[in-house]
Structure 1
Amino acid sequence: MGENMTFFEDGFKKNGLIWLRYIYFAFVGCLIGAIIGLAETIFCLGLNWIFKIRVGHEMSLLIAMPFVGLLIIFIFVKYGGQSKEGMNLVFKVDQGKSRTITYRLVPCMVLSTWLTHLVGGSVGREGVAVQIGATLSYRIGKKLPFSIPKSMLLETGIAAGFSGLFGTPIAAAFFGLEVLVSGAIRYEGLCSALTGSFMAAYISSLFGIHAEQFALPHVSITFFLMLRVILLGIICAFIGMFFSKSLQFMRNNLAKLWPNPYQRIFIMGIICAGLLALFDQGRYSGLGVNLIDAAMHGQTIYPWDWILKLVMTVLVLASGFQGGEVMPLFSIGTCLGYWIGSLIGIPPMFAAAMGYAALFAAGTNTLLAPIAIGMEIFGTQYFLPIFIVCAIAFLLNKNHSIYVLQRNLRL
């Protein structure tokens, strides 16, 4: 367990009570989960308030995008410090490349994400959620009477942050264990990740934050259906890889084109606002929940919805606006699955659900979390196709990830 576990190894093990460390881990997980659950509730309620403000003012708020972009850059330049690295800072701490995660990451990321959503940026929210979780967990862990490995603290915080926002504790626990190092799960963090995840979900549920679940029409799982599901998984693998590479490519090249972050975000803010207004008056703004709901309720999904949502998410994030990538991945995967399903003979709503989980697997380079979230959102009765489509997307994505500093121990 490492030198930080000297207390447990030399104390409890010597007395045959090493199992007590798991009670301690569970207690720490509950403590961290409760605090992070409250923090995620504040963040989510703030987002919900912003979404209400936007109703009826979508186009007028898009005009403000370049100016709000300047404010976001000012916040990070003036007050952000290391926090401007965002999720990369979490990876650096786990890998020993940075010593700590500054508290200021939380308010800077929360405020900048709220502002991005206010003006209709095509971004998610989970990026901030897991950064909040990792930051608070890491800092709380340093104040505990008995030390815990930093990897365990980060995993617990990520799990609690994801769960507090999405209300999917099992998927969140696995995400926390998988995302920092793809291809290797450090099971010593399982106890605290699970308890932290369930506690955060419980706390946020007290304030009305729950996982959105969808009832799929009955689909008979046949051999020929599974062949089509495999094909869908292959397609999702390459689209997930394309999303990750496009995001990295645009970030690097926009930074070269406009080295000044103020100039970059202002010019790109004008471009992004214009494109979002042009593309069906903001259909691709925000989280993409509108597209997920449309697909899952049999409403209109256009063949180009997935690619336009992907393009707008890449452009907005690469410009310097803040938010997450996972919710857009869910939205892109849902639209892609719906469209591909209608082409290859899979019931579109069922295919949309498969795409939802599979693109998450391909984009984040994780496996167990996408399988779990597929079952938590769409039902355990579809375990087999969810498992297959996620496994294919995970195996064939060539180890690409939206997290550029993710360590990879896969073959």
Structure 2
Amino acid sequence: MAFRPSRLFRPALAIEQTPHLLFLGRWLLICAAVGVLVGSASAFFLLSLDWITDWREAHRWVIWLLPVGGLVIGASYHYLGENVVRGNNLLLDEIHNPRTVIPLRMAPLVLFGTLATHLFGGSAGREGTAVQMGGTLADQLTRRLGLRPRDRKLLLIAGISAGFASVFGTPLAGAIFGLEVFLIGAIRYDAIVPSFLAATSADLVTRAWGVGHTHYPQLHVPPITLTGLLLTVGVGILFGLTARSFATLTHRITQGFKRIAYPPLRPVVGGVLVALAVAALGTTKYIGLGVPTIVAAFQAPLPPQDFLIKLVLTALTLGCGFKGGEVTPLFFIGSALGSALALVLPLPVALLAAMGFVGVFAGAANTPLACTLMGMELFGSQAGIYVGLACVASYLFSGHTGIYSAQVIGHAKHLRYGREQGKQLGNIPTHRQASAADSVRKPGP
């Protein structure tokens, strides 16, 4: 039978595909706008952060002004941004239950707060800032375009993806992060087109501004063996427990500082503690982003205490009210821990550092798929099996904890905790408390 191309383009088929074509065209235009806004904002943020970091390292006396910086940050949020102080969790809440457009003031407030935190020597990251700017700037299009609540959810997800992708230079990981971060154990596939379009366009715009990203080594991984896979799962479990410890400590410090009735004083007290700790340590390697130490982790084993010091300083900085993200510090914590494990495990130091880099983040953010893709984008696809297993094991063993309290459990990580399904992480008691409550409720023998 002769091939007839016209059979592929029957009117019925064309009519069937028309809605998809219109959907794609509409979101191409919307996400192009999101990409320009968010990519440009991320470019400005990254350039500013580099300048501030260099200035701080050249004038280390400024670290003693960290309490003053904390007062300014705390006061700015207390008097100008009480309705946006929840940051990333506010964005996640708006995805779950849309109420009102994110106030535009969130973007400049988090930008100022993060730059001030890094200027005066706090231990923080940049992902939170980029995500909050991305979600806020994208959401400003809601009213201008007359979007319905259903479409607004997609727009917020696209903004989150754009912010993450542009600040790290990882469009695939950024796209999946936006789809994965707000609902544990599930992904919203109706947002996959906007998420990928926004992440890709924002990354392109950031690069077009001439802003570069940290380059990590392309890994030369050993042949896959049963021993290697078992070790990978084992270190993944350790990364998950580390992620759980970081999230738990940060939340407990946050609750502890809430005992100070006047919110602007919280980062003042925390700033004093961080500044004294930096002085006692005699080094600035644990403050700011810590990128030089992250890079060094791939070259030779780091001292075992490095990851623990960074974990405590970051939890204290963010828990007392300074601004910034958790992700780059988590990269530091994970890569330093993985690097230190090379002292006792028969795996290459660079591979262990790479697994820790994404593994701890996967457990803390409950985003194993995004972190696996990030590992492949940064370190090469040949590392996929190793980083993927480490991320999955970490995700499982971090339990129902995380750095984002507004995450909703779409599917419980284990049947034992099925009763927690549908709840936000912030509304779940610790498993120790839950077990104690169960023992009270259950009748005795």
What interval of TM-score do these two structures reach, taking the shorter chain for normalisation?
A: over 0.9
1:155 is matched with 157
Moved more, 145-154 or 85-94: 145-154
Determine if the alignment matches structure 1 residue 231 to structure 2 residue 244: no
Note if contact 1:334-1:353 (Cα within 8 Å) is conserved in structure 2. yes
2 CA distance for matches of 1:352 and 1:125? 20
Residue equivalent to 1:202: 204
How far does residue 215 in structure 1 lie from its aligned partner after superposition?
2.6
Counterpart contact for 2:78–2:264, Cα < 8 Å: no
1:394-409 equivalence runs, <5 A: 394-409=395-410
* Contact map agreement 2:358 2:375 (CA 8 A) in 1: yes
Q: Is 1:215 the counterpart of 2:223 in the alignment?
A: no
**Cα 1:363/1:15, change in 2 over 3 Å:** closer
In the alignment, what sits opposite 1:248?
251
CA contact under 8 A between 1:168 and 1:201: conserved in structure 2? yes
> What are the Cα deviations for residues 44-87 of structure 1, in whole angstroms up to 9, with x where unaligned?
111111112113212x0110000111111121122223122211
- After superposition, the C-alpha distances for 1:327-352 in whole angstroms (9 at most, x for unaligned) are 11111000011112321222222101
What is the Cα deviation at residue 190 of structure 1?
0.8
The Cα shift of 1:29 comes to: 1.7
Match in the other structure for 2:340? 339
Shift of 1:98: 4.2
Question: How far is the alpha carbon of 1:209 from its aligned partner?
Answer: 2.5
CA RMSD in angstroms, aligned pairs only:
1.8
Provide, for residues 283-312 of structure 1, a one-character-per-residue CA deviation record: whole Å limited to 9, x for no partner: 2010121221111233x6111000000000
Q: Partners of 1:138 and 1:263 in 2: how far apart?
A: 31
Q: Which residue in 2 is equivalent to 1:142?
A: 143
1:217, distance to aligned residue in structure 2 (A): 4.0
Task: Quote the Cα distance in structure 1 between the aligned partners of 2:239 and 2:250.
Answer: 16
SS at match of 1:18: helix
Instruction: Report deviation, 1:16.
Output: 5.7
**Superposition pairs for residues 64-79 of structure 1, below 5 Å?**
64-79=65-80
- Counterpart of 1:177? 179
Letter of the structure 1 residue corresponding to residue 30 of structure 2: V
Partners of 1:207 and 1:265 in 2: how far apart? Answer: 34
Residue equivalent to 2:376: 375
Equivalent residues of 2:219, 2:383 under 8 A apart: no
Structure 1 partner of 2:265: 263
C-alpha distance in structure 1 between counterparts of 2:112 and 2:229, whole Å: 44
Q: Counterparts in 2 of 1:9-408, with a 5 A limit?
A: 17-19=18-20, 20-58=22-60, 60-96=61-97, 98-144=99-145, 147=148, 149-211=151-213, 212-256=215-259, 258-298=260-300, 301-408=302-409
Aligned pair count reads: 397
Q: Which runs of 5+ in 1 are unaligned?
A: 1-12
Provide closer, same or farther for how the CA distance between residues 81 and 115 of structure 1 changes in structure 2, counting only shifts above 3 A: same
Q: Give the Cα–Cα distance (whole angstroms) in 2 for the partners of residues 119 and 169 of structure 1.
A: 31
Q: Using the alignment, how far apart are the partners of 1:281 and 1:267 within structure 2?
A: 21
Give the distance between the partners of 1:235 and 1:408, measured in 2 at CA: 22
Kept after mapping to 2: 8 A contact 1:62/1:277? no
Cα distance between partner residues in 2 of 1:107 and 1:16: 42
Instruction: Kindly indicate whether the alpha-carbon contact (under 8 Å) linking 1:265 and 1:319 is maintained by their aligned counterparts in 2.
Output: yes
Q: Distance in 2 between matches of 1:24 and 1:97?
A: 21
* Distance in 1 (alpha carbons) for counterparts of 2:348 and 2:245: 25
Q: Could you list the runs of 5+ residues in structure 2 that have no partner in the other structure?
A: 1-13, 413-445
Cα distance between partner residues in 2 of 1:303 and 1:141: 48
Deviations 1:155-176 (A, max 9, x none): 1000000111111000000000
Kindly tell me: are residues 331 and 246 of structure 1, through their superposed partners in 2, closer, same or farther at Cα, counting changes over 3 Å? same
Separation in 1, partners of 2:57, 2:203: 28
Does structure 1 conserve the Cα–Cα contact (< 8 Å) formed by 2:216 and 2:295?
A: no
CA contact (8 A) 1:166 1:210 kept: no
Q: TM-score scaled by structure 2?
A: 0.86
The answer to whether the 8 A contact 1:62-1:273 is kept is yes
Hey, which bits of structure 1, 4+ residues long, moved more than 6 A? none
What is the TM-score when the length of structure 1 is the normalising length? 0.93
| Shift in alpha-carbon separation, 1:218–1:387, aligned structure 2, 3 A | closer
Give the C-alpha shift of residue 18 in structure 1: 1.2
